[in-house]
């Protein structure tokens, strides 16, 4: 099987017509390929996130990660950019949808695209993946331990985030949720609430929840990494995308 791939930094059109930086990895075979928008975590558009982007390409998907901090910190290192974005209250929801929408359009317009597109996000990106799936026409979405899809941020919380439960009726595609049972944001109770809300609205979804895992169990460069949970999670992702995004 021909397995060559290419990965590179490109520029795409994001919210408001802004040109923003993005990292693209794509198989070099003829396709057709599904497209995955990878939404990076709070610590930013960093090297581990780019590894995830390449992983999707190695599995036959065109994957694109927009740098959500392009505007605050063009050219800055990922950690400095993340600190700047954090100090300004994070990424506004409207802008996130515009940036992810631009990435989706880019992927669907690629010559080898099969016309299908999905989102996956980690940490804050998990919530943003859900938000994108409620705001854009997608074929699949994955929420990896995103907080405040349901539940209200505590007083003094520095980010401009609002719960998204009211958007459940707008969810445009099947949702895969992957959560650690030792996580506090989202807590197991909040995952229960989201699960019930999706079921009540008749929205197709599958949740997998892992004992012994907390927040960020996919993050291979952090002490939160839980290999068993992450390996099972990746297997669930391949199955889910195989059913909804491939071909």
130 vs 241 by CB, closer to other proteins? 130
Cβ proximity to other proteins: between 37 and 216 the closer is 216
CB of 103 to other proteins, least distance (A): 21
Q: Residue from 52, 73, 136, 140 that binds other proteins (CB under 8 A)?
A: 73
Q: Cβ distance 232 to 202 under 8 Å?
A: no
* Number of amino acids touching other proteins (CB under 8 A): 33
Binders of other proteins in range 22-61 (CB under 8 A): 41-43
Residue 40 annotated as catalytic:
no
37 CB-contact burial (10 Å; exposed 0-12 / middle 13-18 / buried 19+): buried
Say how many C-beta atoms besides its own lie within 10 A of residue 39's C-beta: 32
Match 């099969």 to its residue by tokens: 114
Judged by CB under 8 A, which stretch of 83-91, 112-120, 172-180, 232-240 contacts other proteins? 83-91
Q: Which one of residues 33, 40, 215, 244 is an interface residue with other proteins (CB under 8 A)? A: 215
Nearest residue to 43 via CA among 89, 88, 86, 103: 86
Determine if residue 177 is left, alpha or beta; phi over 0 gives left, psi from -120 to 50 gives alpha, anything else beta: beta
Residue appearing with tokens 């802008």? 95
Q: How is 197-236 classified by DSSP, letter by letter? A: HHHHTT--EEEEEETT--TTTT-TTSTT--HHHHHHHHHH
3-state class (DSSP) for residue 19: strand
For other proteins, which stretch binds (CB under 8 A), given 25-33, 58-66, 109-117, 218-226? Answer: 218-226
Q: Which parts of 130-189 interact with other proteins (CB under 8 A)?
A: 146-148, 156-159, 161, 185
**Active-site annotation holder among 15, 41, 215, 244:** 215
Q: Which residues are catalytic?
A: 123, 183, 215
Q: Which residues bind other proteins (CB under 8 A)?
A: 41-43, 72-73, 76-77, 79-84, 86-87, 123-124, 127, 146-148, 156-159, 161, 185, 214-216, 222-224
């Amino acid at each position: 099987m021909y397995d060559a791939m290419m990965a590179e930094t490109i520029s795409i059109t994001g919210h408001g017509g802004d040109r923003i930086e993005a990292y693209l990895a794509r198989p070099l075979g003829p396709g057709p390929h599904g497209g995955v928008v990878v939404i990076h975590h709070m610590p930013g558009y960093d090297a581990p996130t780019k590894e995830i982007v390449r992983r999707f390409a190695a599995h036959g998907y065109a994957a694109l990660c927009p740098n959500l901090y392009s505007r605050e910190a063009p050219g800055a290192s990922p950690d400095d950019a993340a600190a700047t974005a954090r100090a300004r209250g994070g990424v506004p929801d409207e802008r996130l949808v515009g940036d992810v929408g631009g990435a989706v359009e880019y992927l669907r317009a690629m010559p080898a695209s099969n016309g299908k597109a999905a989102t996956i996000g980690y940490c804050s990106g998990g919530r943003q993946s859900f938000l994108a799936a409620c705001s854009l026409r997608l074929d699949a979405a994955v929420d990896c331990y995103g907080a405040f899809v349901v539940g209200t941020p505590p007083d003094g919380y520095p980010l401009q985030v609002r719960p998204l439960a009211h958007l459940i009726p707008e969810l445009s595609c099947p949702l895969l949720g992957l959560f650690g049972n030792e996580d506090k944001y989202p807590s197991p109770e909040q995952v229960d609430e989201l699960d019930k809300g999706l079921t009540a609205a008749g929205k197709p979804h599958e949740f997998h929840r892992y004992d012994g895992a907390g927040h960020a169990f996919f993050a291979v460069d952090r002490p939160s990494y839980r290999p068993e949970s992450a390996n099972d999670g990746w297997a669930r992702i391949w199955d889910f995308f195989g059913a909804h995004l491939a071909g």
